[in-house]
């Protein structure tokens, strides 16, 4: 799951940077924040499992100028946290560990990953992938044994550049201290953040800072109302803090002196795994929304290709297989049958004539010679290439329509561009495949001729009649071929030998059988063209076009990848069984 969360995060960030004009920037940035928080929370679980003993982590969070660093100093009873009236002064997570906790913080590097640990006074202003952990020599009366984290704000204009550090510090926390002031407590950014954090189940207190006399009750009621609007758990303890001019810090009230020490009783790290799954489940559908949209577009594209192929095959049947003048394949079978009708005593005399009369068949058998001449002479090949080109033109028109009207406009537009650029290569590959099919199918033509010949052998009277007729027919054919200097595939149909044999077969008892053989040949030819040319050739390439889309502008995460991740959870008690349907 962690690897998939990281992949999602990377794709969201890349697409947002490349497609700012074509995506909902606010929505995408929210999802990036959710993914960063979730990744950090899962890393926290790994950190807990890998470390047998570690201190509690308490994170002080809040909007800009709420007084977070001041509260940290109050809780530490020190001045370790740098305080400034300027917004955005703290830009790195900064931890403060009591002496006996510092050694146990070495494992934090595993949690922070690519973030570099540095001393507090060396944290750079021009880098945000850093954090510090400092030692606190004094023991605070307000804190349990813990590491207290001062965090950057999460709402300023500049916070986007250091927001990852904020989210990492938040996800690490066992306890959250939310600091708001009377000026900032109502900001939507505060309650958006608190809404997100509910799934982490972190015990929380609210520090209401910079109060003036008489404002506490009114603000407290408003806080309760806002909490109830975004959270379903109980309203937390609120610590009112009044600014003390003489010390420049708020005064922690005695009534709440032990509030953090009591709050740690609610920490339950054993439930970390369940909380991770709940967090993922909370946002899973939202994260997958653009990915599912791509899947739907891809599925629609597959349907478009399937419909286009079906239409192409219908055109092939109409304009070739079922066309009374264009269909020539069965005539090739009959021409091959002529060569099988050997006539005793005349075979040698007719050998030369047959070489002339049946040259198309002999050229087909000799697959390595004069292929272009065969292709040029085939009505089927010409028609197949026309159908392929028409199919691609139709699909390009449909893609352009989709690019103008669908939600995934860029997806359709880029698939259209891929098809446009690859069109000529597709047609060339189809032409070559069609020629290979045409030559290879001659074996089926020969089998058809053999089938007819074997049936004729069962009717010796008809066979002898054909043989006797062929002597005269061949003599006429010899004169024709000598006069014309050769005979082509189309002319072969009208050769006297072919006309005579076709007439005798049709009018004989073989007529119905011959029609059945012809229909069988057509069906076999249709299935071969469908599988060899339109499914395995052009259809396969068209179907895989979406896989070539750039990962810079598209997620390109397959449904199989998503299901594999979900499967990891279905095997667990608290898994994500209902993710796709919740």
Say what the pLDDT of residue 563 is: 87
pLDDT at 173 over 60: yes
* pLDDT computed for residue 528 by the predictor: 94
∠ CA 74-228-71, nearest 5°, is: 5
Q: What are phi and psi of 370, to 5 degrees?
A: 50, 45
CA 105 to chain centre: 40
The per-residue pLDDT for 48 is: 85
Unique residue bearing structure tokens 């944290």: 123
Least confident span in 244-253, 266-275, 344-353: 344-353
Asked: is 55-267 a CATH 3.40.50.300 domain? The reply is yes
Query: Comparing 353 with 21, which gets the higher pLDDT?
Result: 21
Lowest mean pLDDT among 331-335, 348-352, 442-446: 348-352
Q: What residue ranges of the chain are covered by domains with CATH 3.40.50.300?
A: 55-267
pLDDT at 21 over 80: no
Q: Is the pLDDT of residue 537 over 90?
A: yes
Under the banding of pLDDT at 50, 70 and 90, the label for residue 500 is low
Mean pLDDT score, 202-228: 87
Return the pLDDT at 167: 92
Q: Is the pLDDT of residue 190 over 70?
A: yes
- pLDDT at position 174 over 90: yes
Q: Parallel, antiparallel, or unpaired: how do β-strands 237-244 and 204-211 relate?
A: parallel
**pLDDT higher for 526 or 145?**
526
The encoded tokens of residue 12 equal: 């969201």
Confidence class of residue 490 from pLDDT cuts 50, 70 and 90?
A: very low
pLDDT reading at 297 higher than 80: yes
Residue 97 CB contacts under 8 Å (≥ 6 apart), including other chains: 55, 104, 105, 133, 134, 135, 136, 147, 148
Helix (H) or strand (E) holding 438: helix 409-440
**Is 188 exposed, middle or buried (CB count within 10 Å of its CB: 0-12, 13-18, 19+)?**
exposed
CA–CA distance, 112 with 165 (Å, rounded to integer): 9
Candidate ranges 39-48, 82-91, 106-115; pick with highest mean pLDDT: 39-48
Q: What is the pLDDT confidence band of residue 206, given thresholds at 50, 70 and 90?
A: very high
Predicted confidence (pLDDT) at residue 476 exceeds the cutoff of 50: no
What distance in Å separates the CA atoms of residue 169 and residue 61, rounded to the nearest whole number? 9
Residues 6+ apart with CB under 8 A from 227: 194, 235, 236
- Please report the pLDDT score of residue 37 as a whole number: 92
Mean pLDDT of 330-358: 56
> Residues of the chain with pLDDT > 90: what percent?
31
Mean pLDDT of 451-456: 82
As a whole number of angstroms, the distance between CA 271 and CA 345 comes to 98
How high is the pLDDT of residue 472?
53
β-pair partners for 148? 58, 96
**What pLDDT is recorded for position 514?**
77
- Average pLDDT, stretch 495-504? 59
Predicted confidence at residue 176, as pLDDT, reads 94
At 376-427, the pLDDT tens digits run: 457 889 999 999 999 999 999 999 988 887 678 889 999 999 999 999 999 9
Task: Flag the least confident range among 2-11, 186-195, 308-317, 491-500.
Answer: 491-500
Contacts of 191 (CB under 8 A, 6+ apart): 226, 229, 230
pLDDT-based confidence at residue 578 (cuts at 50, 70, 90): very low
* pLDDT value of position 359: 41
Which band of pLDDT confidence, cut at 50, 70 and 90, is reported for residue 430? very high
Model confidence over 361-388: pLDDT tens digits? 444 344 334 334 444 457 889 999 999 9
On the question of pLDDT at 486 being above 60, the answer is no
Higher pLDDT, 437 or 471: 437
Q: For residue 433, is pLDDT > 70?
A: yes
Residue 235 main-chain phi, psi, to 5 deg: -65, 130
- The whole-number average pLDDT for the span 127-152 is 88
Sheet with 249-251: strands ordered across: 116-117, 130-136, 94-98, 146-150, 56-61, 175-181, 204-211, 237-244, 249-251
Distances (CA, A) of 368 to 365, 372, 432: 9, 11, 14
Task: Check: CB of residue 72 under 8 Å from CB of residue 148.
Answer: yes
pLDDT score of 499: 57
């Amino acid at each position: 799951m962690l690897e998939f969360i990281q992949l999602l995060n990377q794709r969201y960030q890349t697409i947002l940077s490349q497609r700012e004009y074509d995506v909902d920037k606010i929505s995408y940035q929210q999802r990036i924040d959710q993914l960063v928080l979730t990744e950090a929370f899962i890393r926290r679980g790994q950190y807990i499992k890998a470390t047998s003993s570690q201190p509690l982590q308490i994170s002080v969070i809040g909007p800009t100028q709420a007084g977070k660093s001041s509260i940290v100093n109050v809780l530490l009873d020190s001045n370790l946290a740098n305080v400034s009236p300027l917004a955005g002064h703290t830009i790195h997570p900064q931890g403060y560990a009591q002496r006996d906790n510092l050694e146990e913080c070495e494992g934090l590097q595993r949690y922070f990953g690519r973030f570099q640990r540095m001393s507090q006074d060396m944290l750079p202003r021009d880098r945000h992938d850093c954090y510090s952990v400092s030692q606190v020599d004094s023991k605070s009366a307000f804190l349990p044994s813990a590491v207290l984290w001062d965090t950057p704000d999460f709402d300023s204009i500049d916070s986007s550049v250091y927001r990852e550090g904020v989210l990492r510090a938040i996800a690490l926390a066992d306890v959250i201290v939310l600091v708001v002031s009377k000026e900032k407590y109502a900001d939507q950014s505060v309650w958006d953040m608190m809404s997100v954090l509910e799934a982490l189940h972190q015990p929380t207190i609210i520090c209401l800072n910079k109060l003036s006399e008489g404002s506490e009750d009114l603000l407290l009621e408003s806080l309760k109302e806002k909490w109830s609007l975004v959270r379903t758990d109980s309203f937390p303890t609120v610590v009112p803090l009044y600014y003390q001019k003489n010390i420049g810090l708020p005064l922690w009230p005695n009534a709440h002196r032990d509030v953090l020490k009591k709050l740690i009783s609610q920490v339950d790290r054993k439930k970390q795994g369940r909380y991770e799954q709940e967090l993922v489940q909370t946002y899973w559908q939202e994260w997958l929304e653009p990915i599912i949209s791509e899947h739907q577009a891809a599925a629609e594209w597959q349907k478009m290709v399937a419909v286009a192929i079906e239409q192409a095959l219908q055109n092939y049947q109409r304009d070739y297989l079922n066309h009374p003048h264009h269909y020539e394949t069965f005539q090739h079978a009959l021409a091959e049958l002529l060569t099988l009708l050997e006539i005793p005593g005349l075979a040698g005399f007719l050998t030369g004539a047959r070489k002339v009369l049946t040259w198309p068949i002999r050229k087909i058998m000799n697959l390595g010679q004069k292929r272009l001449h065969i292709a040029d002479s085939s009505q089927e090949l010409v028609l197949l290439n026309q159908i392929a080109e028409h199919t691609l033109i139709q699909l390009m028109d449909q893609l352009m329509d989709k690019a103008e009207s669908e939600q995934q406009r860029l997806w359709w537009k880029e698939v259209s561009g891929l098809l446009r650029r690859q069109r000529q290569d597709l047609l060339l590959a189809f032409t070559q495949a069609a020629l290979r099919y045409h030559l290879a199918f001659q074996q089926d033509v020969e089998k058809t001729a053999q089938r007819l010949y074997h049936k004729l052998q069962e009717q010796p009277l008809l066979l002898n009649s054909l043989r006797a007729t062929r002597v005269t027919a061949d003599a006429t054919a010899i004169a024709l071929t000598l006069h014309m200097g050769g005979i082509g595939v189309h002319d072969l149909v009208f050769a006297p030998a072919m006309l005579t044999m076709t007439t005798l077969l049709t009018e004989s008892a073989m007529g119905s059988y011959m029609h059945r053989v012809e229909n069988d040949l057509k069906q076999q030819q249709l299935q071969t063209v469908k599988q060899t040319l339109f499914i395995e050739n052009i259809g396969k390439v068209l179907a895989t076009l979406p896989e070539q889309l750039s990962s810079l502008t598209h997620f390109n995460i397959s449904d199989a990848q998503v299901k594999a991740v979900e499967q990891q959870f279905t095997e667990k008690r608290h898994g994500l069984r209902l993710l796709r349907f919740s």
